[in-house]
Amino acid sequence: AAGVIQSPRHLIKEKRETATLKCYPIPRHDTVYWYQQGPGQDPQFLISFYEKMQSDKGSIPDRFSAQQFSDYHSELNMSSLELGDSALYFCASSRLVGLAGGPYNEQFFGPGTRLTVL
């Protein structure tokens, strides 16, 4: 079965450079989430999109921006990179499923992009 695809898998940048991370959700999934996992840390929510509109925002720096395109893929743009931005960036996708107990959302994760800022 198709899974969430992220590219690139590894990225090395210098301080103050920019980076673009891409996420391709599972077909027919309408929601995309971005998470950042620093070394030894738990994944932290950055931002999410539902039907190409931003649906929620977490602890995402102003230097970062993201969008979801008409084909539902999403890109996370990071500018003025800092050493502290070095982390694993996960993308997840989901599609709301109606269950007897109420709507249910299972998020499927991509393999992550490991960003190293030197």
Partner 1 sequence: AQRVTQPEKLLSVFKGAPVELKCNYSYSGSPELFWYVQYSRQRLQLLLRHISRESIKGFTADLNKGETSFHLKKPFAQEEDSAMYYCALSGPGAQKLVFGQGTRLTINP
How many of the chain's residues bind partner 1 (CB under 8 A)?
A: 32
Site for partner 1 in 13-42 (CB under 8 A): 31, 33, 35, 41-42
Kindly indicate which of the ranges 20-28, 50-58, 68-76, 79-87 contains the residues binding partner 1, using the contact rule CB under 8 A.
50-58
- 7 is an interface residue for partner 1 by CB under 8 A: no
Dist. CA 113–CA 84, nearest whole Å: 15
Q: 37 near 45, Cβ under 8 Å? A: no
Dist. CA 34–CA 89, nearest whole Å: 7
Site for partner 1 in 77-106 (CB under 8 A): 90, 92, 94, 96, 99, 101-106
